[in-house]
Each structure stands twice: as structure tokens, then as C-alpha cells.
Amino acid sequence: MRRFLLLLLVVPVMMLSCTKSSTSASSNYDAASDVFKGTYVQTGSRLDTLVVSVTNGKPSLFYNSKAFRDKAQAHPELQTFEYEFKDGKIGVRAINSQISSFIYYDFSWVKTGQIFKIQTIAIQPDIYTTSFCTFEKVQ
């Protein structure tokens, strides 16, 4: 009888203490992406911005550089990349790419949610370099 009473007390307490986050149910949820979303300026060139948002349901980076604007390109998708975080790196690929795999680059927060460093080639694939750029959130 004691075990039965104990069971009647323990089971409801366990059920009440187990909560499931609505975000954990989605296989596409990435907590790092939520912190990452926003508009950033490059610290070395404040005319270059990086917009982190969602494009066609995919997490995306749009590198709106001064060089891109000067060329007055009609194809912003050439500067837009889908991204994901994995093992402390950022994976990127062209937003409309037929290639299913991401290419991973070094990424680190200087101040989480505000300032980060990223390998330049991740957002400027036409410029091969091993250098990094730093971005600071403005929105």
C-alpha cells in the first residue's frame, strides 16, 4: 500500500516537472541562429553591412558591401548565403545552391549576440584570404 501511495505522489510530480520546449520539437531550430539574427556593420569598414535573417524559410546572410552596391548588381542572391552552425563553425552555401553541403569556416563571438569574427572568405567567396572580419550588431 505504501508503494502505491508513493507512486501516486511521485508520478504527478514527475509529469509536472517535465516540460518540453516548443523550440526543441523543431528539427530546424538552432538557438545560435536566434542570437545571430540582426543587422551588423563591419568594424573596419562601416559602409559594409551583414544582414542575418530568413530568406524563403532558410536562415540567411546578406553581405551588403559597398563594393556590391557600387556595382549596382541586380542579383542580390549572389551576395546571399544560407548558413548553419556546427561544431563551433559556421557553414555557408549560396542561398539558391543545388549543392546540398555547407562549407565550414571559423566563427567566434567576441561578445555573444553583439560582436563576432568570421573568416572573410565565408561571406566574400570571390576573395581568397585567410583573414577575418569583425562585425558589430546595430539592430
pLDDT-derived band at 114 (thresholds 50, 70, 90) equals: very high
Higher pLDDT, 33 or 61: 61
pLDDT-derived band at 22 (thresholds 50, 70, 90) equals: very low
Q: Which residue has the cell 542579383?
A: 75
Between CA 51 and CA 60 the distance in angstroms is 8
Mean pLDDT, the chain, integer:
74
Between CA 28 and CA 54 the distance in angstroms is 12
Residues 39 and 139: beta-carbon distance below 8 Å = yes
pLDDT of residue 8: 37
The pTM assigned to this predicted structure is: 0.69
Q: Which residues share a beta bridge with 135? A: 42, 116
Domains and CATH numbers, the chain: 24-137 (2.40.128)
Query: What average pLDDT does this structure show over 2-26?
Result: 33
State pLDDT tens for residues 25-45: 234 445 456 789 999 999 988
